[in-house]
Every structure is written in C-alpha cells, then in structure tokens.
Amino acid sequence: MFPLESRVFHFSKLPMLMLGAACLLSAVAGCGRRVVVTSPGESTSGDPSEQPKDHCEELLKNAVGMAQPGRLGVSTDRRQVSELFNQWRGDCGGDVELAAFGAHAKKAFEPLVSDAEFKAMAEGRISERDAETLRTAILLKRAGDVVVKSADRDIDRVNLLFQFVVRNVALSAPSSEPIPQTPYDILILGRGSAEERAWLFAELLRQLRIDAVILKPATGVKSQSEAAKAETTESKPDPEAATSSGSEPSTADEAPWLVGVLLDEPQKPVYLFDLWLGLPVPAPDDSAFPPRPATLEQVVEKPEILGRLAQDEGTYRFAPEAFHSMKVEVISSADPSLPRQKRLQSVLTGDDAVVLFDPLDDDEESPGLVSRVEAFGGKRWGKTDISVWSFPERSLVATEHLTDRQQQRQRIRRHALDAPISIIPKQKKDENGQERIEITFGNPKKTQLKTRIAQVLGDRKNAVRSYNLVRFDGRLDPRLQPPPEFVRMHARAEEDAFFWTGICQYEGGEFDAAASTFRDYLARYPQGDWADHAREMQARAFARQQKFADAFKALETLSEADPARVAHQVLRKTFRSLQQSAAKTSE
C-alpha cells in the first residue's frame, strides 16, 4: 500500500476525463465528424454515386446499432446517432417527400413549442430527440415482450405491464421544481409521479398497438374528495396543506383521473387503472391479488366496487356519478405523429421493428389515434369530449430547456448510474523529496446503468450477479480519502443495487427471497431513498405467497412523508380483507 502522508486528487478533472473517454469509445462516429461507413476492404469518398453496394445497409445497421439501449448513453450519444441517420437519409434515399403534419397534431403541439421547434417537427431531418425516441421504443418493446410472454389474452398482457410499471417506478414526492423526465428516464431511474407512470404505461402499450387514454369526470362533476374538501375548508384554502398532506395525487390540474385501456374486443371494453394508487379499479367479485381490472361499464353498474379503493377511514377520490360522463385525453407526444417517423419505422426489421409512427391524425393507410378513440366512445363519450393530454409533450420540451438548477439536480440523480469509477493512486515525490499520493480516476464503467438495462430487459440472473459486484466495488478504501462527491456516488449506487436486487427476485417469481431482500434493505437503510417502496414491495411479495397477515404487517407503520401513503393505506386494507377471507375459508 502506498504511504498516505499527503495526497493530490483531480476530481474536478473527472468530467473532462469522461468526455475524452466518450470520444475514444465513439471513434466509429468520428466524435462529430461526417461518418462514411464502408465494407471491409473498400473505401469511398462520400459521393453517393461512388458508394459501395452495401453502403446504405451498413449505414443503417450502424445507426440503429448505436441507438440500442445498451449503447446510446453508454458508449454513444444522441448527436452521433442522429448524424449517422441523416447521412443515411442523404446518401440512400431516406430524404423522401413527407406527408403533411396533421391538423390534430398541429392543434395539440404547436402551442407547446417555439416556432422554430414546430417548424422542425415537419422536416425530414432526424433530430437528437428522435435518436432517444428510437432507443426508448426498442427498450420498451423488448421489455414488454419479456413481461407479457406468459399471457394469452390482451387483458392479461395489459395487467402484467401495469404491474411492471408499478414495481419498477416508485411514486415520487411532489416538488416545487420537478425534473422533467422522458419515459426512458422514468423506467431506468425508477421514480416518477402518477402522470409519469401513466405515460410509461401507455408507451409500453403502444408497442403492443393497444391504446390508452386519460379519463376525467366531465365539467361540473366533483370527486368525493373534492366535495368533502369543499365542505370542510374556509373560503381561503391553505395551499401548503394541500401539498404537504400526501392525501391527494399530484396532478397538473388537480382534476382526478384514471387511465383507461381500450381493447379491440366485441364489447369494446375500457379497463380502468389508478396509477396513483398503483392498483387497477378491481373487477366485481374479484378476490385475487393483484386484482383483475374492472371496466367502465362495471363501475357504472356496480359503483360499490369503488369502496375497495377507499382509504382506511376515507373515500375514493371519484364519486360514482363521475363515471356517467367522462372527458377523454389521448396519451401521446408529438414524436409518434412526426411524418419522418413513418419513413424510419418502415426500414426497421427483426428485433428492432418497433412502433415509432402512431399519429393523432388519420393516415392514408390507417385511422389515427384520435379517430380510434372517437370510434370507441359509443355512449361513453363523443367527439367534443376528446382532446390530447399535454403532459407528455410538455415534459419532453422541458427536458430540452432545463434550468441550471434542474441540470445540476439531474446530474446528481444520474451520477450513480456511472458507477463504479476506479481510483488510481500514484506514488510521487514533491520538490522537497517527500513522497505523496496523487489520485486520478478511471473512466466511468457504467456497470450500474448496464445492469439496470439488463434487468429491465429480463436478464435477471446476470443482473443480480452484477448488482452484487456494484455493491462490492462501491466499498472504497478509506485510506485513500476519496472526495465526498465520489463517496456519495458509490454509496447511492450500492443502495440502488441492493433495492433493485429485490426487484429482480420478485420479477423472477422468487417472492420469499425478494421479501427477505427488502427486509434486509430496510434494516440497513431504514430512512433510505427506497424505504417506502421497499415496504410496499415486501408487502406485495408476501401477498403473492398468500401471507396476507405478513403483508399487512409490512405496511403497519407508514411514514408521514411517504408519497404513496394513501396507496399504502388502501393496500393495507386490501390485505386485511384478504386475510379475513382466507381465515373464513380455512374454518
């Protein structure tokens, strides 16, 4: 071991080291220069008329390869990917005449962006955001395929994807300055608001070509919680009380809402899911856990089932009459409506064949999303009741215009995904001949990010092994006295790896092992970043083993700061009811 009489470290130079490594790792793309891909043994000047025969195939193959979930953001960046796609467009006929941007899309998205940004939407050039959109679509398609592979019916596939979102995305606490996220961020970082959960759920369903909408009561219909609040509050409401109690969902406009999933079946059912509670509206006479979802018609016919989603001593936030008249908001961003996405989707094949083009407006080949939702309405809703949910596009635009504070917080949030980073000590002598240690840092290994992606894609066995390595690598030699920022990064990565190991076990059907892992996590991190969600997941693991008393006990003590406090009260009531039913059955 080197003597540690003195030390010099260059933590401030870490970003520059990481940037240099990114350029080396992405040398295939020239780090910003025009890329000309050739077959082995061939060369080209870049003139389209002089390209080798397989030039276009190689360009497209490399562009799609660089956009893979395991590469984009790991060893390549979105600028490199967009430049390679645009070279393909220019060299290989990808720059074709595109259809006009539809009327519904113009109405929905033009007010949310600048004039220049809106103009760019109708262009054929592949943007950096498009590169991320492709990566996200590939990730969600492959993840969804793993989740639903055991299901034979669409409703079972939908319910499995819903449960996947709920366990992988912990409900985040409301913030005065939230950090906007893309669906990729929501899933990989594992935290989100109810709205972000809903958006991710809808994007997973899009890859199965299943439509989802936001359902809200029509104007003038109050939820039960709103009515109760109106009776008990003064004429001047206390805004701090509304946001700090944790008893109401953090929605953009404070109107209650659910996600409705539209299945193309004879009866055209609309299945209801509560992303704030993390539960479907339970079907009548369903006593399983997790429950099967109810349809909108079932709730209208049997409104008493809403009582199963009420708090211990409260009510559900929807009054039964709210379901008689609904407003519908289509879940989509501008991306699936962009004409260039149709061109790009048409050349994707094999495992990379994903849904990129799903426009709001009718296409010459198929009806658009708005028309499909309108046709589903029947007596439920009409054309004037349909609009576009602005949350997804507002979030995507906001990710491109982060404030300095948001950028700093985002870097901190993502930093643990770079772990581990090696400390490289070097023994040197100063001008007085005294030995000292100069500390430099290796390139980020990004093992945590790669492992989280592998977990999401269903490679659970290797993910657990890799998470254990991350936890081991995070235990730094204190004698090197690494900088506090470095220590915090590895500590956060170690904690995340601990929690996500439990999620891996749960998703592999190892419910007893998962419950033990969440118990051990809570013992080590009683106030940890995942503590509230770990309690929920421990309870769910017990419930999947029919251990309803243990499930209830896991949620017996709830934190006042728990953003899912009400959801956990509902779960606790559910487990108590299931325990009582099981006891009666055994008598």
Q: Tell me how far apart the 2 most distant CA atoms of the chain are, in Å.
A: 88
Mean pLDDT within 338-352: 94
Q: Are 342 and 195 found together in one domain?
A: yes
Between residues 70 and 319, which one has the greater pLDDT? Answer: 70
In a domain, 511, yes or no: yes
Task: Tell me the sheet residues that pair with 426.
Answer: 438
Burial class for 401, CB neighbours closer than 10 Å (0-12, 13-18, 19+): exposed
Query: Is 57 a domain residue?
Result: yes
* 506 and 444 fall within a common domain: yes
pLDDT at 173 over 50: yes
Percent of the chain with pLDDT over 70: 83
CB within 8 Å of 502: residues ≥ 6 apart: 514, 517, 518, 521, 534, 537
Task: Judge whether 344 and 126 are in contact, CB under 8 Å.
Answer: yes
| 409: its two tokens | 């917080």
The pLDDT of residue 122: 86
* Closest by Cα among 34, 132, 38 to 89: 34
CA–CA dist 82, 11 (Å, integer):
32
Looking at the structure, tell me whether residues 67 and 127 fall in a common domain. Answer: no
496 vs 503: CA distance, rounded Å: 11
Does 245 map to a domain?
A: no
For the chain, the first-to-last Cα distance in angstroms comes to: 67
Residue 377 or residue 9, greater confidence? 377
Per-residue pLDDT at 22 exceeds 60: no
CB of 272 within 8 A of CB of 280? Answer: yes
- Residue ending a domain, among 399, 433, 449, is 399
Whether residue 4 has pLDDT greater than 80: no
Q: Is residue 499 predicted with pLDDT exceeding 80?
A: yes
Domain closes at, from 92, 119, 147: 92
pLDDT-based confidence at residue 425 (cuts at 50, 70, 90): confident
Nearest to 444 by CA among 90, 19, 158: 19
Q: Running DSSP on this structure, what letter comes out for residue 72?
A: B
Both 73 and 152 in a single domain? no
Q: Within 10 A of 177 (CB to CB), how many other CB atoms are there?
A: 8
Confidence of residue 50 (pLDDT cuts 50, 70, 90): low
* 244 in a structural domain: no
| Number of domains the chain is built from | 3
Q: Are residues 327 and 364 in the same domain?
A: yes
Q: What is the mean pLDDT of residues 277-298?
A: 92
Based on the fold, state whether residues 362 and 483 are members of the same structural domain: no
Label residue 96 by pLDDT band (50, 70, 90): low
- 375 and 395 in a single domain? The answer is yes
The answer to whether position 20 is within a domain reads yes
272: helix, strand or coil: strand
Q: Using DSSP, state whether 329 is helix, strand or coil.
A: strand
Closest by Cα among 438, 428, 399 to 127 = 399
Residues 54 and 114 in one domain: no
- CA distance linking residue 252 with residue 566, whole number of Å: 19
How far apart CA 298 and CA 284 sit, in angstroms, is: 7
517 torsion bin: left (phi>0), alpha (psi -120 to 50), beta (else)? alpha
pLDDT for residue 247 is more than 80: no
* pLDDT (average), residues 387-397: 97
Average pLDDT, the chain: 85
Regarding whether 464 and 575 lie in a shared domain, the answer is yes
| pLDDT beyond 60 at 245 | no
Residues 422 and 343 grouped into a single domain: no
Of 63, 92, 121, which marks where a domain is finished? 92
Residue 221 reports pLDDT greater than 50: no
Inform me whether the pLDDT recorded for 35 exceeds 50: no
Domain presence at residue 243: no
C-alpha to C-alpha distance for 499 and 513, rounded to whole angstroms:
12
Q: How far apart are CA 220 and CA 463, in angstroms?
A: 50
Looking at the structure, tell me whether residues 297 and 333 fall in a common domain: yes
Of residues 23 and 100, the one with the higher pLDDT is 100
178 domain residue, yes or no: yes
- Higher model confidence: residue 505 or residue 583? 505
Confidence at 219, pLDDT banded by 50, 70, 90: low
The backbone torsions φ and ψ at residue 396, rounded to the nearest 5 degrees and listed phi first, read -65, -40
Residue 232 scores a pLDDT above 60: no
Q: What is the pLDDT of residue 176?
A: 76
Instruction: Give the model's confidence band at 481: pLDDT under 50 very low, under 70 low, under 90 confident, else very high.
Output: confident
- Alpha carbon distance 552, 562 (integer Å): 17
Residue 517 belongs to a domain with what CATH number? Answer: 1.25.40.10
The Cα 212–Cα 236 span in angstroms is: 37
The SS3 call for residue 479 is helix
Q: Which residue has the higher pLDDT, 425 or 11?
A: 425
How does DSSP classify residue 256?
-
Q: 3-class SS at 561? A: coil
Domain of 328?
A: 103-230+252-399
β-strands 435-441, 7-9 pairing: parallel
The answer to whether residues 185 and 410 touch, using CB atoms and an 8 Å cutoff, is no
Q: Do 107 and 88 share a structural domain?
A: no
Rounded alpha-carbon distances, angstroms, from residue 339 to 334, 366, 367, 572: 10, 14, 15, 48
Q: In this structure, is residue 98 part of a structural domain? A: no
C-alpha angle with apex 331: 330 to 335, nearest 5 degrees? Answer: 115
Count of residues in the chain: 587
Whether the Cβ atoms of residue 262 and residue 211 lie closer than 8 Å to each other: yes
